Amino acid sequence: MENITTKTKISELIKFNPKSVDAIASLAKPLEKLKNPILRKIMASRVTIGEAAKMGGTTVEEFKRVLLPLGFTFEETSAKEERAPEPKPNWLQQANKADIDFYDVRPIINNGADPLKEILGRFKTVEPGKILCIINNFVPTPLIHLLKQEKAEATFVETISDKQFNTYFLKKEKEVTNSSATADEKLQMDDAENFAVICNQFTREQTKEIDVRKLEMPGPMEMILSELKELPTENALYINHKRVPVYLLEELADKNYEVHINNREEGNVKMLIFKK
C-alpha cells in the first residue's frame, strides 16, 4: 500500500494487511485495544495514524518502523506533518483561565481505573461556552470522538511533553429543544412481557441487534451512538448490555428517541431504542 500519511485511517491499513493490527498494538499499551475485534471496529475507521501515534504516546516514525516490513510505503512529507505544531484556535486563545476547568486524570489511570465516568461527570458541570481541559499522558482519541458527537463544540490537543497532553473541550451553548415529550415519556423501564410487546412492533428486518457487554468503556456508549446515527427511520436498535447505561441515557435525554429497558438480571440488560 503506497502513499501512507499521518491522515491515513487505521482501518485502511488493516484492510490492506491484517498483520498491521499486531504491529500497531506492539507500539504502546493504549493501542492494544485494536486486538479486540469490536473495539477495532469502533476505533479503526475513525482514528488516523497521526491520532493513533498521539493516543499511544509514540511517533509516526515508530509506525513506519513496524509497517514498512508489511508492504506499506510512506510519503516523505509525513514526518514534516508530524512535527508541524497546530496553532491554538481562537476560542482557546481568547478564553480566560477562569473559564477553563483543568482536570488531571493521570492519577486515576495510574491506579488502574478508567476515568471516563469522572470525565463525563466533570464535563456535565462545565457551563455552556466554557472549557474542560483533560490532562493525560496520552491523547484520548476515543473520548474526543465521543464528546464531539454530542456536547463539545470544538476540541484541541496541546502537546506539553511526550508524557503530558492537554485536551481542551469547548462545551456547546445551550440549545432550545422543540420536543414536547417529557423524559418520562421517552424512557420506560419495562417488565419482560411489556418489553416483548414493544419489540414485536418491529420486524426482524427493522431491528438491528448489537452486543456491547464485552466492550471496555467508552466502547459501549460509542458503539450505540454510532449505530443510532445510522439507524433508518421506522427501525429499532436492540442492545444487549450488562448494566443500565446512565450516561448514555443522559446523552439521549434531549434527543428524539424512545428508550425501553428490561433489566432482567445482574449483567443482563436488554434495551430497545428507536426514533419517535
Q: What is the pLDDT of residue 82?
A: 47
Handedness of CA 43, 49, 50, 55 (dihedral sign): positive
Q: Are 155 and 167 in contact, with CB atoms under 8 Å apart?
A: yes
pLDDT (tens digit per residue) in 202-220: 999 999 999 999 888 778 8
Residue 180's pLDDT band (cuts 50, 70, 90) = very low
Q: Which of 251, 225, 59 is nearest to 139 (CA)?
A: 59
Kindly report the CA angle at 198 between 193 and 202, in degrees rounded to 5?
A: 135
pLDDT more than 70, % of the chain: 89
- Cα torsion through 182, 186, 192, 198, rounded to 10: 130
Domain segments of the chain: what residues? 10-83, 90-171, 183-275
pTM of the model: 0.55
pLDDT over threshold 70, residue 225: yes
The secondary structure of 121-163, three-state, reads: HHHHHCCCCCEEEEEECCCCHHHHHHHHHHCEEEEEEEEEECC
Kindly report the CA angle at 116 between 104 and 124, in degrees rounded to 5?
A: 85
pLDDT over threshold 90, residue 116: no
* Domain 183-275 -> CATH class: alpha beta
pLDDT over threshold 80, residue 84: no
* Domain 90-171 -> CATH class: alpha beta
Q: What is the pLDDT of residue 260?
A: 93
pLDDT over threshold 70, residue 184: no
Beta-carbon count within 10 A of 89 CB: 14
Q: What is the pLDDT of residue 39?
A: 67
- Cell numbers at residue 86, please? 497546530
How far, in Å, CA of 167 to CA of 146, rounded? 13
Q: What is the pLDDT of residue 38?
A: 63
Backbone φ and ψ of 138, nearest 5°: -155, 165
How far, in Å, CA of 60 to CA of 51, rounded? 10
Of 22-26, 122-126, 144-148, which range is least confident? 144-148
Name the more confident of 129 and 180: 129
What does DSSP assign to residue 74?
A: B
pLDDT over threshold 60, residue 160: yes
